[in-house]
Amino acid sequence: MKDYITGKRGTRAAAWITLIGGWVLLSLLVDNEVIVPGVGSTLSRLLVIVSDSDFLNIVGYTFLRCIAGFLASLIIAVALGALSRWSAFFRELMEPVLSFLSSVPIMAIIILALIWLDSQLVPVFVGFVMVFPILYETVYSSIVNVDENLIEMAHIFGVDRKTMARDIYLPSILSGIGRVSSSTLGTSLKMVVAGEVLAQPKYAIGTRLMLEKTYLNTDGVFAWIIVILLMSWVLKLFMERIKAAWENKGWM
More confident residue, 5 or 139: 139
pLDDT the model gives residue 27: 87
More confident residue, 236 or 243: 236
Contact 37, 219 (CB under 8 A): yes
Question: What's the pLDDT tens digit per position in 3-52?
Answer: 545 556 777 788 888 888 888 898 888 888 888 999 999 999 999 999 99
Q: Give the per-residue pLDDT at 208.
A: 96
Instruction: Tell me the percentage of the chain whose pLDDT exceeds 90.
Output: 43
Reported as a pLDDT band with limits 50, 70 and 90, residue 169 is confident
Q: In 116-155, which positions are buried (b, 16+ CB within 10 angstroms) versus exposed (e)?
A: ebebebbbbbbbbbbbbbbbbbbbbebbeebeeeeeeebe
Burial of 179 (0-12, 13-18, 19+ CB in 10 A): middle
Who wins on pLDDT, 65 or 28?
65
Residue 86 has pLDDT above 60, yes or no: yes
Distances (CA, A) of 92 to 38, 81, 136: 53, 12, 14
Interaxial angle between packed helices 55-86 and 205-214, expressed in degrees from 0 to 180 and rounded to the nearest 10: 130
